[in-house]
Amino acid sequence: MKNTGIWLDKEKAHIVTIENDEVDFLTIKSEVENYHVSGGSGTKFKGGPQDVVQDSKYSDREKQQLKTYFKTIVSHINESNKIAIFGPAETPNKFVKELKEKYKPVGAKVVNVERSDSMTDNQIKAMVRTFFKNH
């Protein structure tokens, strides 16, 4: 039985795979850009050049980068029997939604999605071990 726990946010995914009491730990960095755009003009004079923020353009680019990031994660977990997903904010839920829409066989293996704040690598390993020991 190959069980996999994933702790992920927009920056990185920590994948913990447990098979025959052997623990494998892998970190995947995402290519998702951070879109903190500061507003305001480039000059103090009235009528000077303005920075135009195109929210939909940034949003679309972020969605594409997330899809690429998720595809990379899926390539590492598609052999798993059970998958548990952890992480802060919305990224784990977006990942599960993507699994259920685009990677249905992998999405069917998801047994848990849980909010979890940042942790050290060892804390993530321990959390995944404990989760699969109890389930």
Q: What is the CATH number of the domain that holds 69?
A: 3.30.420.60
Residue 53 has a pLDDT of 54
In the block, tokens 């994933």 appear at 6
Measure the CA–CA gap between 28 and 70, rounded to whole angstroms: 10
Residue 44 has a pLDDT of 54
In the block, tokens 């829409």 appear at 101
Q: What is the pLDDT along the chain (135 residues), one digit of tens a residue?
A: 999 999 999 999 999 999 998 999 999 999 988 765 555 445 555 555 555 556 788 888 899 999 999 999 999 999 999 999 999 989 999 999 999 999 999 999 999 999 999 999 999 999 999 999 998
- Residue 46 lies inside a defined structural domain of this protein: no
Measure the CA–CA gap between 79 and 2, rounded to whole angstroms: 8
Cβ-contact 16, 124 below 8 angstroms: yes
Cβ-contact 92, 112 below 8 angstroms: no
Domain limits for position 81: 2-34+53-134
Residue 35 has a pLDDT of 64
Predicted TM-score (pTM) of the model is 0.84
- Residue 97 lies inside a defined structural domain of this protein: yes
Measure the CA–CA gap between 55 and 32, rounded to whole angstroms: 15
- Residue 42 lies inside a defined structural domain of this protein: no
What's the full length of the chain, in residues?
A: 135
Residue 36 has a pLDDT of 56
Residue 107 has a pLDDT of 97
Residue 41 has a pLDDT of 47
- Residue 48 lies inside a defined structural domain of this protein: no
CA dihedral 103, 105, 110, 115 (to 10 degrees): 0
Closest to 73 in 3D by CA, of 129, 30, 125? 30
Can you give the three-state secondary structure of 5-24, one letter per residue? EEEECCCEEEEEEEECCEEE
Cβ-contact 25, 14 below 8 angstroms: yes
Residue 48 has a pLDDT of 53
- Residue 66 lies inside a defined structural domain of this protein: yes
Domain count, the chain: 1
